[in-house]
Amino acid sequence: MKKFLYTFTFIVLLGILFTGAALAQDNLPTDDEVNKVAHDLYCPVCQNTPLDVCPTDACKDWREQIRGMLAEGKTEAQIQQYFVDQFGDRVLAAPPLTTKFNLIIYIIPPLIILAGAIILFRSLKEWTTPKAATASSSEDGTEASPLKDDYLARFEEEAKKQK
Amino acid sequence: MIAEFGYGITLVSFLVAVYSVVAAVYGATKKSASLVESSRRGMLLTFPLITIAAGSLIYLLVNNHFEVAFVYEVTSRSMPTYLKITAWWGGQAGSLLFWSWLLAAFASAVTIRKWDRDIEFLPWVVMVCSVTLVFFLGMVVFYENPFTRYWLVNGNVEPHMFQPALATIFTPQDGNGLNPLLRHPGMVIHPPMLYLGFVSYVIPYAFAMAALITGRTDDRWIRLTRRWSLWAWLFLSFGLVLGGRWAYDVLGWGGYWGWDPVEIAAFMPWLTGTAFLHSVMIQEKRGMLKHWNMILVILTYALVIFGTFLTRSGVLSSVHAFANSPIGPLFMAFVSATLIASIALVIYRWPQLRGETEMKSMLSREALFLLNNLLFMSVLVICFWGVMFPLVSELFTGQKVTVGPPFYERATAPIFAGLMFLMGVAPLSAWGHSTVKTLGRAMWKSALIALVVTVILFITYTMNYIALIGFFLIALVIFVTAQEFWRGARARQRSQNENFFSALSRLMGRNRRRYGGYIIHISMMLMAIGILGMEAFQTSTQGELAKGDALDISGYTVKYRELASWDDTGKGVNFTRATMDIYKNGIYLGQLHPRIDYYFDSQQNMTIPGNRSTFKDDLYIILVDWQPTTAMGATFKIFVNPLVNWLWVGSLLFLVGIIFAAWPDRDPAEEISRRGISLSATQPSAAD
C-alpha cells in the first residue's frame, strides 16, 4: 500500500512536471506574437527597416531576444524600453516625446501648414473683395461650366474659322 | 588607355559647358548674337562629348576592366552584358555621369528648336542648363571620377586617375558585382525613369529663370515648357511607381512603399511638380498666380537637386558621413546658391508678376486649385521635415532618431483625403465663379451613388470606418469624373449631331489636357483602392513549418511541400526554392515558389516572394529561413494583401492618361480652345 502511494505520488508529480513543461512549450511565443512587437521597433543597424521584416542575422537574434522576453512575461512597453535603453531612441518608429527637443517634429509642420493656410485665405479674401475698377473689366458672372452648349458652339465656330 | 580617354573627354565637356555659361551671359549682356549662338553650339557639343565619355565607360564595364575602380565595384565576370551596361547607373560616380548625359541630351533637344520671337530667352536657358551641367560634370571630373584606376604603390593598392611615380597598374581577378537588388529588371529601368523626370524639370526651370531675367514675365515661358513639364511629371511618376513595384517584387517585406528617406527624396519634387501642373492652368486661363508658379518651379528644381543630394551624399545614414563625403557640402552649396539666386530674381520682378484678374468666388475653380496647392505643399512640409528631423536631431542633440511610416501615415492621411475630395469637387466648378448651389446641383447625383456604394461595402465588405470614408471618396471622384465625360460628350452630341462615341472621342481629342487629366484622376483612384486595401486590410502570419505542415491565413491554406537548393555557377548564384501548395477554402489553387537567391560575388541575399495576384487580394509568401542540413523545417512569412493589384492597374491607366495628355499634336484646335477661354476671361497681357 505504501509502495503504491509512493508510486502514485511519483506519477502524479511526474505528470504535473510534464504538464508544466508542456504548458511552457505552449507558452513559447509564436512568430506572430514576436512580429507584432518587432513591427513597431526599428532595426538599429539597417536604417528605416522594421524589425519584423529585416532579413539580417543581427535582426534575427533580436527577434529571438524579443521571444525570450515575451516568454518571461514582459510587456510590449517593457521590451520597447529595453531596446531604447540599449540602442537609443532610434529603435522607435517616431521620436518619443521624452525630450523637449523632439517636440519640434510635431509642432513645426502644423505651424507651417497653418501659416500657409492663413496666407492663402487672406489672399483669397483680398482677391474676392470686389474692386470698382476691375469689376467692370472682367466678365460678368456668367456661370460658365466650360462644357455648356453655348460655349461649345462658340468653340467650334472659332475652330472652323481657324481652318 | 580607354580610361584616360574617357576622363579626358569628360574634362573637355566640362570645359565646353563652362564656356557655354560664360558665352551665354556675356553674349546676352553685350547683345552679341554671335556669342549667344556660339554658347548654344557649345551646349549642343556637350551631348556628343558626354556620349563618347559614357561610351568609354560602358566599354570598360562590358570588357571587365577591373583595374578601373568603378568597374570593379559594380560588375563581375558572371554578370550578363546587359547588366554590365546598366551598371553604369549602379554606382555613385557612374550615375552622376548618367545625370549629366541626360541633362546634355535634354538641353540640346530644347536648344535646337526654332526660337523665332523667343530668341531673348535662348542665352538664359543655355546658361541655366549649362550651370547645372557644369555642377554635375564638375563633380564627375574632380570628386567622383568613374575612370579612376587601381595602382600598386609600394605594395599598397590605391585608386588614382593618373599613374603615380613608380606605380604599376593593379587588376583584380574579378569584380565585386552589382548589388543583387539592382539586378532586377524593375531596378534596371527605375533609376533612369526617375532621373529622366528629375532632369526634365531642369528645362521648365531654365525657361522660368529666362523669363525672370529678361522680364518677359507673361505666361510665354509656361506655354513653351508645358509639354516638358508634363513629360517630366510622367517620368517622375512612372519612376516612383516602378520603384514601388520593384520593392514589392524583390525587397521581400510585403509592401511597396516604406516612407524611406530615399523614396521621399524622389516623392518631394513630384509633390511640387504636381502642384505646379495644376496651378499653371490658373495662370494660363486667368493670368493669376505668377509669383506662385515661379516659386513652385524653383522649388521643384531645388528639390530635384536636393533629392539627388540626399540619395547620393550619404547624409541619410549620418550627418558625419555627409561631412566626410566630398560631394555633400558641394551639393548643399549648389542647392542653396541656386535657390537664393532664384528667389532673389522673383523678388526683383515681383511687381511685374502681379495678377491680371481678380478672383470672384471662394468656390471658383482657381480657388479650389489653390486649396489643392496648399494640400500638396502640406504633404511636402511633412515629408521634408520628416526627412530632415533625424539629421537636425543628430546635429543638435547627438541622438539619432527614426521617423518611420506611422509618422507619415498619420500626418498625411487626412491631407490625402482632402485632396481626393477636391478631385471630386474641382472638375465641376467653373473658372471665375461657382456657388454652393451650382456645385451641389452638379454633384448630388454622383455623391448619392457613391454613398450607395459605400453602404453596400459596409454591409458586404468592411466596417472599418476610415476605409469606408476612403471608399466613399474614391467612388465620388470616379463618378464625378465619369459624369464629366458623359456630360461633355452629350453636349457635343446634341450640338454636332454625332453619335455618342464619336462625340466622346472628338471631345477628348480636342481637349487632350483636360480629359487626359480626368483619366489620370480616375487612375489615381484605382491606385487609391490598392493603397487603402494594403493600409486597412493587410494581414500576415509567420511560422516554422515541417514538410507537409500548413499555415492558415484569411481563408488561404499554405502547405509546405519541399525545398530545393542548388548552385548555378554560370550565374554565380545559389538558389533556395520552396514549393508551397495553395488552397483557398479547401480548393486547390496551385503552387507558389518563394525563394532566396544568394549571390557569390557580392555575398548578398535577394528574397523573391511567391506571389499569387488577383483583383481581390494577393497571397504573398516569403521564405524567411530554413534548416540547411536537414532541409526539414523552414520558416515562412505570409501576407494577404487585399486589393493591391488595383495599384498596378491604376498605374497603367495613369500612363495612358498622361501620354494622352502630353502627346504632341499639331491640331490647331487646342490653341484655339485655349484662346477661346482666355478671350472670355480677359485680354492676355503680351502679344500672345
Q: Residue B390: its chain A contacts at CB < 8 A?
A: 90
Angle B115-B118-B120 (CA atoms, 0-180°, nearest 5)? 110
**Does the beta carbon of A158 lie under 8 angstroms from any beta carbon of chain B?**
yes
- For residue B618, tell me if it sits in a domain: yes
Cell numbers describing residue B648: 498596378
Same domain flag for B453 and B578: no
CA proximity to B581, closest of B541, B555, B552, B550: B550
Task: Mark which of B381, B398, B415 sits at the end of a domain.
Answer: B398
Q: How many CA atoms lie within 13 A of A138 on its CB side?
A: 24
Q: Which amino acid is at A71?
A: A
Task: Mark which of B146, B178, B210 sits at the end of a domain.
Answer: B178
Q: Do A158 and B672 touch (CB under 8 A)?
A: yes
Q: Residue A92: its chain B contacts at CB < 8 A?
A: 401-402
- For residue B687, tell me if it sits in a domain: no
Q: What is the pLDDT of residue B134?
A: 97
Query: In angstroms, rounded to a whole number, what is the distance separating the alpha carbons of residues B405 and B260?
Result: 8
Cβ partners under 8 Å of residue A43, min gap 6: A49, A50, A51, A54, A56, A58, A59, A62, A91
Distance from CA of A12 to the nearest CA of B (A): 33
Residue of A152, A154, A160, A163 to mutate, testing the B interface (most B Cβ within 10 Å of its Cβ): A152
Highest mean pLDDT among A97-111, B35-49, B388-402, B618-632: B35-49
Query: Across chain B, how many H-helices and E-strands are there?
Result: 21, 13
Could you tell me if B162 and B147 are in contact, meaning their C-beta atoms sit under 8 angstroms apart? no
Average pLDDT over residues A63-70: 91
Same domain flag for B160 and B93: yes
Kindly list the distances between the CA atom of residue B686 and the CA atoms of B1, B220, B300, B349, B353, in Å, as whole numbers in the listed order. 56, 9, 26, 16, 13
Interface of A with B in 74-103 (CB under 8 A): 88-95, 99, 101-102
Radius of gyration of chain B (CA): 28
Q: Do B672 and A155 touch (CB under 8 A)?
A: yes
Q: Is B635 helix (H, G, I), strand (E, B) or coil?
A: strand
Cβ partners under 8 Å of residue B194, min gap 6: B235, B236, B239, B240, B243, B266
Cell numbers describing residue A139: 466678365
Same domain flag for B316 and B332: yes
Q: Residue B397: its chain A contacts at CB < 8 A?
A: 99, 101
Of B382, B399, B402, the CB nearest to A93: B402
Interface of A with B in 111-140 (CB under 8 A): 112-113, 116-117, 120, 124, 127-128, 130-131, 134-135, 137-139
Query: In angstroms, rounded to a whole number, what is the distance separating the alpha carbons of residues B624 and B596?
Result: 8
Residues in chain B: 688
pLDDT at position B186 over 90: no
Q: What is the pLDDT of residue B678?
A: 44
Residue of B181, B289, B358 to mutate, testing the A interface (most A Cβ within 10 Å of its Cβ): B358
Task: State percent of chain B over pLDDT 70.
Answer: 94
Could you tell me if B298 and B342 are in contact, meaning their C-beta atoms sit under 8 angstroms apart? yes
Same domain flag for B386 and B415: no
Tell me the backbone φ, ψ of residue A55, rounded to 5 degrees.
Answer: -85, -5
pLDDT at position B100 over 80: yes
CA proximity to B469, closest of B493, B450, B495, B441: B450
Could you tell me if B13 and B55 are in contact, meaning their C-beta atoms sit under 8 angstroms apart? no
Same domain flag for B148 and B45: yes
Of B358, B402, B430, the CB nearest to A143: B430
Which has the minimum average pLDDT: B24-38, B258-272, B316-330?
Answer: B316-330
Structural domains of chain B, count = 4
Q: For A2-91, which CATH class?
A: mainly alpha
ipTM of the complex: 0.80
Distance from CA of B381 to the nearest CA of A (A): 6
Domain ranges, residue B465: 405-536+653-681
Delimit the domains of chain A by residue range: 2-91, 95-129
Task: Mark which of B143, B178, B213 sits at the end of a domain.
Answer: B178
pLDDT at position B85 over 60: yes
- For residue B93, tell me if it sits in a domain: yes
Q: Do A124 and B362 touch (CB under 8 A)?
A: yes
Q: What is the pLDDT of residue B223?
A: 87
Q: What is the pLDDT of residue A142?
A: 40
Of B367, B377, B393, the CB nearest to A101: B393
Q: How many CA atoms lie within 13 A of B7 on its CB side?
A: 19
Angle B637-B641-B644 (CA atoms, 0-180°, nearest 5)? 140
- For residue B581, tell me if it sits in a domain: yes
Q: Which amino acid is at A149?
A: D
- For residue B23, tell me if it sits in a domain: yes
* Minimal-distance CA residue of chain B relative to A150: B495
Same domain flag for B57 and B161: yes
Residue of A33, A61, A87, A155 to mutate, testing the B interface (most B Cβ within 10 Å of its Cβ): A155
Same domain flag for B119 and B191: no
pLDDT at position B672 over 80: no
